[in-house]
A and B are shown apart, each in its own frame.
Chain A
Amino acid sequence: MATALKDIEFQNAEEEIRLQGEIERVTAHPVYSPLREPLIDESKSCSDVTNDICGLLERPPLRGWWILFSISVVLLALGMIAAVNTVTFGIGTWGLNKTIGWAFGITNFVFWIGIGHAGTFISAILYLFGQKWRTSINRSAEAMTLIAVMCAGVFPILHMGRPWLFYWIMPYPNTRGSLWVNFRSPLLWDFFAISTYFTISLVFWYLGLVPDLATARDRAKSKWRRIFYTILSLGWNGGNRTWSRYETVYGVLAALATPLVLSVHSIVSFDFATSLVPGWHSTIFPPYFVAGAVFSGFAMVTTLLIPVRKVMHLEGYITIQHLDNMCKITLLTGSIVGLSYLTELFIGFYSGNPNEIFVILNRMGGPYAWAYWIMFSCNAIFPQLFWFKAFRTKIPLILGLCILVNVGMWFERFVIIVTSLHRDYLPSSWAIFIPTLTDLGLLVGSFGLFFTAFLLFLRLFPVISMNEVKGVLHYARD
């Protein structure tokens, strides 16, 4: 233990004092738990953590990063072309029609908002529950949340007929007399829910970053790098009082963010639940959407982290144990989603409402049955394989299943939106939705935006929360 501590390069006096306290605590009460696996690779020391994580920012990008970044930028460019096409010519460039007013746009929106649930879930809820394994993944998960919410935010604006007037859905003081927004509209609730969620996620993520940014600042050798991190680290000095306040605020923010994790997707689900379209009008939607969101979010975090730990050589920090835990949460939420599907089927028939029954039969056997069965198998059946240890510990299997979950969850939104709309009350208006190249471009482009932003995040900010990892470094060691 003592030999390991010798290697620590203290960044400043405060940190030295903190760590010495830590050492004393650890020596006084040696933790020994043969039943638990250590959270971080046993060979890692505190200085290794700093060197590994900050080193990622200081070294030129690795080859793997460049390859991924180039692909992402190409996808993003495709999306930009599609977006310019949409804004220039109109929503007619999408495959929508008089019957199906929403399809890919809102599907993508709900999908990305769902993805954005994992970060806050990991950092806030798991924090409150004292799940220490979260420390290796919470930073990237939070970043992913922010980026996903940004990806989601593009779509409500782009899907408008006149996107340049999007600010009209905000209640801002204006000179138009009594003209105001409609507080009865779920779209307005969406606006509040998402902007609140985004704000708090941003603040939460940023707050957690500050100590690590200070570390990056202290290690910075070039002038611009130093200025950049100096500004961002908000004069962090590592003092006891600073740490104390930091911990308090972090806890408060975690408590604030927790209900938001539940509320955002509940409110997004109101877009559908409060309408009278058969297949949308359903009271099960709020919990079902939240479970689905966490489910898809975890699958997406796992999908992202597997290549990241490989490319960035972070296997020591993000261990199989982490992946195993995430798979378990995916399994849990996936089972909730599966149960919701079955409940929806049951309630549909139990209601005796011919329109509801028709929607269910149409989903399972209509023109979009293929989408329904992709959804059902990817979300309710395949994740059940996570019951087997092999599927939670073998990287290719995890990755494969998580990608399937992502596909399934995208299709879940597509199925809810399109199959409900395309055949509603009057058969005279029944129609089929066929996506156009612009639709596909925007879908692909949103992934481009997501990966581009995430890869930039990897280069600009410490990808793992160093200060928190150092705190759990000794977990289950000795």
Chain B
Amino acid sequence: MKDKLWKQFIDEDDRGLPVLQNGNGISRRTFLEAIGYTTAAIALTSCATPEQKVIPYLKQPPELTPGVANWYASTCGGCSAGCGMLVKVRDGRPIKVEGNPEHPISKGALCPVAHSLVFGLYDAERIQQPLIGGKTAAWSDVDAQIIQKLTALKGSNGKIRFLSKTIVSPSSRATINKFLSQFKDAKHVVYEPVSTYGVRAAHLRTHGVEALPFYNFDKAKVVVSFGADFLGTWISPAAFIRGYSEGRNVNERKQDMLRHIQFESRLSLTGANADKRVKISPAEEADALLFLAKLVGGSSQSSVLSGIETAKLSEATKAALQKCAAELTKAKGSSLVVCGSNDADKQQIVNLINQSLENYGKTIVVSSTASEGQSKDEDIQGLFQEIKDGSVAALFVLDANPAYDHFAGPEFLSALSKVPLKVSLSPTLDETTSVADFVCPTHHSLEAWDDAEAVSGVVSTVQPAIAPLFQTRAYQESLMRWSGDERRYYDALRAEWQTRYFAGQSTFKTFDDLWDKSLHDGVYRPSAAPAGPPAFKADGINEAAARMAAGPGGDGLFVALYPKVTLRDGRFANNPWLHEIPDPITKTTWDNYACLSPNAAARASLAEGQFVRIQKGNIAVELPVMIQPGQADDCVAVAVGYGRTKAGKVGTGLGANVFPFVEFTNNTFHYDSSGASLTAASNFTRFAKTQTEASAEGRPLIKEYSLNEFVAGHLHEESEKQIDLWKPHDFPEHKWGMVIDLNSCVGCNACVLSCQAENNIPVVGKDEVHRRREMHWMRIDRYFDEKQDGTTTRFQPMTCEHCDNASCETVCPVLATVHSSEGLNMQVYNRCVGTRYCANNCPFKVRRFNWFLYPHDDPIANLALNPDVTVRSRGVMEKCTFCVQRIEEVKIHARNEGRPIKDGEIQTACQQSCPANAISFGDLKDLESKVSTLRHTKRNYILLEELNLRQGLTYLAKVNNDGDDLEG
């Protein structure tokens, strides 16, 4: 019944209005049937309550009004950071996610990956039903056969292995453990291809807890990062951006700001935002850490440190480190040193530095309880060995894909044939899953019940926002079936919570109170057991320092692997949104490439786009060259996550897989390795870049000041009053305006993806992006500036500026773009004839033209469309509307309640999604509103003010904390 209904819903019409659209020939009976099916379909998919029955709208559920969105608190399943999110559900389908402001860790911040989840949900290439040997099967058959095989195994000594990605859910882990406990030799192996195990392993050594600490960037005055891309990809970037931007915020009252120094070899998003960026060779990293540890007083803990040699360090690096050490020491207790390496030794030295600077307990908090369910790099190696030995009797795989992302992927894949029983629970038919004997697809995270405890003591809830689209089953439920437990996972989850959380508390009278409150808030914080922070132990520091000092130097070229801000480890490679978002630094889409510094490229006489063969031992890969300023000369940086062979229609065959360059030494994966060589190939490729110019050509587009200038008030002059030839517009009620703080923006792209999801912006593909025809309404301009002390990078979010003297409005012959009485520059799609004159005359080039009829013919993917926003057809112009649909929604709401609109009540999609809170939006007629206030601060400036466009969007100038550089 359920499937039939759903099929009907899809087959008839992707909008769910099957016969109503047909016009003639509808009998009354058909009409009523259609209404019945539609309402049933809506009710079915709106799984706000755990009730899994079809409810007709005889009596409309009180929380559900057709056309009005419901919001459900949940947790992002994109990575193991577990950020809290709110899911917007319209007529039974999730169409948008936003950060959950009540979540104590992420505080409403989300990264681009989270925003792309919605598209992933409606990916028709997810496995739609269970498979046996690659052929579709019924769940009952799958269960029967697996249970039969498991029963046989129960008595034997065969090794049962459960391989998964990081599982931050305590309840899921309990389910897995219960399943594994049936067998004599069973083990849960957690594997992350882009690992942070080094950080945890180091804390196990220094604090006795294998835990990821939490970093309070907002409390730090000086942050020093050694290659940690904490604003882009490292551990929990969305939450870090929020803290970082809070720390860097300056205004009339708060006149001090976080100072950020970055030592790195490739230009990362984080390095691009640093006040001072020191380009170091990857070979220098270990010595730089040791030298810094020595300088900040770590040598009292370690005899090796006091005698450390700094021969490998360049003079510039040494000088920078000395200055840096002085600044850190000055900010003792409110500084923070992080390192992006996965080497436990390096992390141990970092811990020592932080300990010497008395940062523990202040800017860096180590919980007394270990963060569980996290990966251990040596475990996957152990499993690999067992598989090769042929001793694994059954392998269960969940969301792990070693056949692709393990450095010995192909070998892993062939070894898998030695495992007699391979069961995959992954939702997509990836490289590993496609060789499984049984494929039991689990739900998408937006369809599933679960909980998440990424940081100890903060339990987030995961609740479904839609009934499963396909015949999938929660993996927990599959495991429960195979352990003889016939409950739904929902019941098991509640039972788990009852014992785990309800039992030990007194705030809530009934379990349902606790449950409902947690579901509503999206988070539950059990009263933590009072345990003091674990003490620092200096054991093993000497050995670690000695290993580092003796470590491999810089022989040949370093290969530095990094995850991209959007694609990360390649898990979501079938999501076109993530491919089309340009990399914040290279502005390139749909590809990975070998980043080389301009010097290195010139030395090898390589041109951008030319293929080059990177060879290290017997590993070789061919990639096009990307010339990247700001990178060390002796390294080639390549993004992982590409070169998927079985990702799906979108992701297969893009770029090349560089995971084979990962090395396993000292019990952790290493993503930097030396000894590579380059050979130029003769073929070329053309990158699909959204921006090809590197510099701002010296134009004053981004205004910036040093902190001293800001404090002293030496900012730009108030501009002279411009003379208008035209009568100004009359704004009787509202005048919407936006202010973007360039000091907060880190260029993470969350706004771009959020805008894409909110406004039904099509994906156009690599060729079209190469033709410079991407459709994003929002973009982030990136400008490099080559200064004496290195490359500086600046970001400038750019979208329609909603000018009062709009140059686009005067030139449109058919009045398809006009000014609203609320200051919006509106585009009337059905009036537009497509002369593109408006786009030519827009100095910001924010208008986007529909060059073709972009396909919307996938009925499942179309479910992701926002029904409040028109899907544009071929030949019309489009652009940012300041989310006019959101403005109208709030206005209607306020009017119904007979009250004025509150400041901050309207949030544009980009604003709501900005992890840095860089975007403010509101009514400029309301002089008390936040935007009005910001407009009168001294950092406010108007881009291209000389054109007298009277924009609705202004910028706040960037402030750089030059620290002691100026004073000294």
Q: Is the CB of B810 within 8 A of A161?
A: no
Q: Is the CB of A89 within 8 A of B852?
A: yes
Most buried by A among B695, B812, B848: B812
- 14 more A-B residue pairs beyond the given contacts A161-B836, A428-B691, with a C-beta to C-beta distance below 8 A: A90-B851, A90-B853, A99-B772, A102-B837, A156-B835, A162-B874, A185-B837, A275-B840, A276-B807, A277-B843, A424-B845, A426-B845, A427-B697, A428-B845
Interface hit among A47-55, A138-146, A186-194: A186-194
Q: Is the CB of A91 within 8 A of B697?
A: no
In the complex where A101-B839, A427-B696 touch, is A275 in contact with B845 (Cβ < 8 A)?
no
Contact with A along B825-839 (1 / 0, CB 8 A): 000000111111101
| Closest-CB distance, A278 to chain B (whole angstroms) | 9
Q: Is the CB of A160 within 8 A of B835?
A: yes
A413 touches B (CB below 8 Å): no
* Residues on the A chain within 8 Å of B773, using CB: 92, 97-98
Contact with B along A85-99 (1 / 0, CB 8 A): 000011110011111
23 chain-A/chain-B pairs, Cβ below 8 angstroms: A91-B851, A92-B768, A97-B771, A99-B772, A159-B836, A161-B836, A161-B850, A161-B874, A168-B814, A168-B831, A179-B831, A181-B813, A182-B810, A187-B812, A277-B843, A354-B699, A421-B840, A425-B843, A426-B781, A427-B693, A428-B691, A431-B772, A432-B692
A184 touches B (CB below 8 Å): yes
Q: How far is the CA of A116 from the CA of B435 in the complex (A)?
A: 70
A182 CB contact (under 8 Å) in B697, B781, B814, B847:
B814
Q: Is the CB of B815 within 8 A of A98?
A: no
Q: Is the CB of B815 within 8 A of A180?
A: yes
Q: How far is the CA of A187 from the CA of B850 in the complex (A)?
A: 20
Q: Is the CB of A97 within 8 A of B840?
A: no
B601 touches A (CB below 8 Å): no
A70 touches B (CB below 8 Å): no
In the complex where A179-B831, A181-B815, A426-B781 touch, is A91 in contact with B845 (Cβ < 8 A)?
no
Beta-carbon nearest neighbor of A191 in chain B: B813
In the complex where A101-B836, A426-B781, A426-B843 touch, is A185 in contact with B810 (Cβ < 8 A)?
yes
| Closest-CB distance, B78 to chain A (whole angstroms) | 28
In the complex where A90-B851, A187-B813 touch, is A162 in contact with B837 (Cβ < 8 A)?
no
Interface hits, A261-304 → B, CB 8 Å = 271, 274-277
Most buried by B among A90, A428, A429: A428
Q: Is the CB of A276 within 8 A of B947?
A: yes
| Closest-CB distance, B20 to chain A (whole angstroms) | 26
Q: How far is the CA of A182 from the CA of B833 in the complex (A)?
A: 13
B438 touches A (CB below 8 Å): no
Q: Is the CB of B875 within 8 A of A98?
A: no
In the complex where A179-B815, A428-B779 touch, is A161 in contact with B876 (Cβ < 8 A)?
yes
Q: Is the CB of B701 within 8 A of A426?
A: yes
Interface of A is mostly: loop
Q: Is the CB of B833 within 8 A of A169?
A: yes
| Closest-CB distance, B936 to chain A (whole angstroms) | 26
Q: Is the CB of B840 within 8 A of A165?
A: no
* Residues on the A chain within 8 Å of B699, using CB: 354, 425, 427
* Residues on the A chain within 8 Å of B837, using CB: 101-102, 185, 187, 271, 275
Q: Categorize the interface residue count of chain A.
A: 35 or more
Q: How far is the CA of A169 from the CA of B695 in the complex (A)?
A: 40
* Residues on the A chain within 8 Å of B947, using CB: 276
* Residues on the A chain within 8 Å of B814, using CB: 168-169, 181-182
Beta-carbon nearest neighbor of A424 in chain B: B843
Q: How far is the CA of A191 from the CA of B813 in the complex (A)?
A: 10
Q: How far is the CA of A421 from the CA of B840 in the complex (A)?
A: 7
Q: How far is the CA of A96 from the CA of B843 in the complex (A)?
A: 17
A168 CB contact (under 8 Å) in B696, B796, B833, B839:
B833
| Closest-CB distance, B761 to chain A (whole angstroms) | 13
B791 touches A (CB below 8 Å): no
B811 touches A (CB below 8 Å): yes
A162 CB contact (under 8 Å) in B796, B807, B815, B834:
B834
* Residues on the B chain within 8 Å of A179, using CB: 815, 831
B518 touches A (CB below 8 Å): no
Beta-carbon nearest neighbor of B773 in chain A: A97
Beta-carbon nearest neighbor of B843 in chain A: A425
Beta-carbon nearest neighbor of B770 in chain A: A97
B783 touches A (CB below 8 Å): yes
A10 touches B (CB below 8 Å): no
Q: Is the CB of A184 within 8 A of B810?
A: yes
B774 touches A (CB below 8 Å): yes
Query: 3 nearest interchain CB pairs?
Result: A161-B834, A161-B875, A92-B851
A246 touches B (CB below 8 Å): no
Q: Is the CB of A428 within 8 A of B811?
A: no
Q: Is the CB of A98 within 8 A of B850?
A: no
Q: Is the CB of A162 within 8 A of B876?
A: yes
Contact with A along B95-108 (1 / 0, CB 8 A): 00000000000000
B684 touches A (CB below 8 Å): no
Interface hits, A191-208 → B, CB 8 Å = 191
Beta-carbon nearest neighbor of A428 in chain B: B781
Q: How far is the CA of A429 from the CA of B840 in the complex (A)?
A: 12
Contact with B along A164-186 (1 / 0, CB 8 A): 01101100000000011110111
Q: How far is the CA of A268 from the CA of B851 in the complex (A)?
A: 25
Q: Is the CB of A161 within 8 A of B697?
A: no
B798 touches A (CB below 8 Å): yes
| Closest-CB distance, B954 to chain A (whole angstroms) | 16
Q: Is the CB of A426 within 8 A of B833?
A: no
A349 touches B (CB below 8 Å): no
B877 touches A (CB below 8 Å): yes
A430 touches B (CB below 8 Å): yes
B841 touches A (CB below 8 Å): yes
A243 touches B (CB below 8 Å): no
B179 touches A (CB below 8 Å): no
Q: How far is the CA of A428 from the CA of B782 in the complex (A)?
A: 7
A358 touches B (CB below 8 Å): yes
Q: How far is the CA of A102 from the CA of B835 in the complex (A)?
A: 9
Q: Is the CB of B812 within 8 A of A101?
A: no
* Residues on the B chain within 8 Å of A91, using CB: 834, 836, 849, 851, 875
Interface hits, B42-66 → A, CB 8 Å = none
Q: Is the CB of A90 within 8 A of B874?
A: yes
Beta-carbon nearest neighbor of A101 in chain B: B836
Contact with B along A387-411 (1 / 0, CB 8 A): 0000000000000000000000000
Q: How far is the CA of A186 from the CA of B811 in the complex (A)?
A: 6
Beta-carbon nearest neighbor of A162 in chain B: B875
Q: How far is the CA of A472 from the CA of B839 in the complex (A)?
A: 54
Q: Is the CB of A161 within 8 A of B833?
A: yes
Interface hits, B174-217 → A, CB 8 Å = none
| Closest-CB distance, B153 to chain A (whole angstroms) | 58
B844 touches A (CB below 8 Å): yes
* Residues on the A chain within 8 Å of B695, using CB: 427
Q: Is the CB of B833 within 8 A of A160?
A: yes
Q: Is the CB of A187 within 8 A of B851?
A: no
B944 touches A (CB below 8 Å): yes
| Closest-CB distance, B931 to chain A (whole angstroms) | 23
In the complex where A90-B874, A91-B851, A101-B840 touch, is A169 in contact with B813 (Cβ < 8 A)?
yes
* Residues on the A chain within 8 Å of B851, using CB: 90-92, 96
| Closest-CB distance, A353 to chain B (whole angstroms) | 9
Q: Is the CB of A99 within 8 A of B807?
A: no
* Residues on the B chain within 8 Å of A185, using CB: 810-813, 837
| Closest-CB distance, B699 to chain A (whole angstroms) | 7
Q: Is the CB of B835 within 8 A of A98?
A: no
Q: Is the CB of B697 within 8 A of A358?
A: yes
Q: Is the CB of A182 within 8 A of B836?
A: no
Interface hits, A121-176 → B, CB 8 Å = 156, 159-163, 165-166, 168-169
Q: How far is the CA of A354 from the CA of B696 in the complex (A)?
A: 13
Q: How far is the CA of A428 from the CA of B944 in the complex (A)?
A: 14
| Closest-CB distance, A351 to chain B (whole angstroms) | 12
Most buried by B among A98, A101, A186: A98
| Closest-CB distance, A188 to chain B (whole angstroms) | 5
* Residues on the B chain within 8 Å of A97, using CB: 771-773
* Residues on the A chain within 8 Å of B810, using CB: 182, 184-185, 274
